[in-house]
Structure 1
């Protein structure tokens, strides 16, 4: 058996134990899987020095960044997650007698468990919104999957013809993906592109409605009356359904609220906490559509082609996909409770 590395104290102890049990060198080698030379050497060292720990001195070049230097490097990372390798090296070398190069910085960071990653994009949650998210989670913490099956989820999303690759990178460890210093907050905003509105429930995918470049109160009222109403009355004829919408300004307009009040005997509008896309499973369906758009052999070159591609992808989303998302709701609620209303990994 070839040598894989220095033996551990436990392995050396097994060798000594086998020899003291009157096993021959060959028998010990066959039993433990080590070479005869190794068995002989370890047992001789034990007989001569009475130790089973490795006596070999450390080899190789001495590390330029010791434990104290790693603590210094860690403080630099905590102070600025977005610092480049060059910036970290420059800051580390300030006031140090022995300077290091960028290659050493990279090696040290990897040894410490840091890697360059793109930060998670999460909604900006104020203190007030955090309390409302926590209240919603507490009010629904005992809802089962069967309860969530009665909810119809809705949202609008924007898809662009071209995407920017200019994204920041940060230094973080594997378990720091949701650390506040490793996040990039976002706010809802619209720009040039195709905007669509969609809805679904555990039972089926609902309609996907192209709405051009902007959703206003007039357009949303027609969507509610032409699409939401027939969907809810068909899926939930017993009037036990809940309709979910976020807190976009056009959703909260007086004319929209009055329309829902006129139909409150047919379904209930779920009171939704602000800035909570992590609680809305339809956000993951938008991700599915986005990924499929990026993998098309022929990419859309105009808004009409983009709209047709979005509608085609939406119609092909599997039932298992959106049902699995609804079934994740109890876990999402627990995540919000655990985060005390802050951002969650969803």
Structure 2
């Protein structure tokens, strides 16, 4: 079993002071809630050397100290996309020490860092970021009722034949040449473009789109093709209710007009 943390200097001083007063080692251990062997070793060391300091730690020291770990952390944060092999070659040149890949991998964990698969996000340059900022600033004071009139749409491409398989596969060491463990790839896989929309009133249906998609093609397709007209009906559900109420009022007025001549004839 490994050794625990060393006894602090204040507690060592108390043991020596009580020993100099003539208190027995068993009573010192009982009063300070320590083992008798610990008290005996501290007193014996004080007799031999006259000091109470902790003996220098033994065993193999770590190759990278705290200063090296801070430098490694700065390098990993600066070059986030670097592989462990590239970081290892840099560390060997920078620290002038023989380091393995496993050592650097453990050191990265000690720096409270970990290797993850990066998320896929569209790249935005400075001009695109500025446009997004100006658009958000222009629509900052929009009310909830105004946002409900907006129709949100988006498109996505799906590979039909092979699909998008992940980079990782669960297999044994001997199954490396098994066809089911390959990451399949073709030069130009068959794909399908799908377009859909949603608003505050509900979601629209998905539609297969042929060709390229932009704002003009969406508006042209929604006006000319009768299939896409049903999409925009989700924004007009509230208006239909108002029209029904108006029709009921008109029917009531017509009934009153018919009753009037009958009442006059009876008189």
> TM-score, normalising length from structure 2?
0.53
The 5 Å alignment of 1:158-177 reads 158-161=157-160, 162-163=163-164, 165=166
Name the residue aligned to 1:39.
33
Name the residue aligned to 1:197.
195
Name the residue aligned to 1:235.
235
Residue 231 of structure 1, CA deviation: 3.9
Uncovered stretches (5+) of structure 2, i.e. residues with no partner: 12-29, 47-53, 169-187, 240-267
Whether the 8 Å CA contact 2:203–2:234 is kept in 1: the answer is no
The 5 Å alignment of 1:255-274 reads none
Give distance in 1, aligned partners of 2:227 and 2:6.
70
Q: In structure 2, do the counterparts of structure 1 residues 99 and 147 end up closer, same or farther at CA, with 3 Å as the change threshold? A: farther
Name the residue aligned to 1:109.
108
Give distance in 2, aligned partners of 1:38 and 1:229.
86
Name the residue aligned to 1:221.
220
Q: In structure 2, do the counterparts of structure 1 residues 152 and 232 end up closer, same or farther at CA, with 3 Å as the change threshold? A: same
Deviations 1:84-133 (A, max 9, x none): 21221111111534321111100100110221112232222222222221
Q: In structure 2, do the counterparts of structure 1 residues 38 and 198 end up closer, same or farther at CA, with 3 Å as the change threshold? A: farther
Whether the 8 Å CA contact 1:149–1:202 is kept in 2: the answer is yes
Give distance in 2, aligned partners of 1:66 and 1:135.
48
Q: In structure 2, do the counterparts of structure 1 residues 219 and 238 end up closer, same or farther at CA, with 3 Å as the change threshold? A: closer
Uncovered stretches (5+) of structure 1, i.e. residues with no partner: 13-35, 50-54, 168-189, 240-346
The RMSD of aligned alpha carbons is 4.4
SS in 2 for 1:150: coil
* Higher RCO structure, 1 or 2 (CA under 8 Å, sep 6+): 1
Normalized per residue, the structure richer in helix is 2
Give distance in 2, aligned partners of 1:110 and 1:153.
43
The 5 Å alignment of 1:1-346 reads 6=5, 39-40=33-34, 61-94=60-93, 96-143=95-142, 147-161=146-160, 162-163=163-164, 165=166, 192-212=190-210, 214-215=212-213, 221-225=220-224, 226=226, 229-236=229-236
Deviations 1:215-248 (A, max 9, x none): 4766762235536654445523678xxxxxxxxx
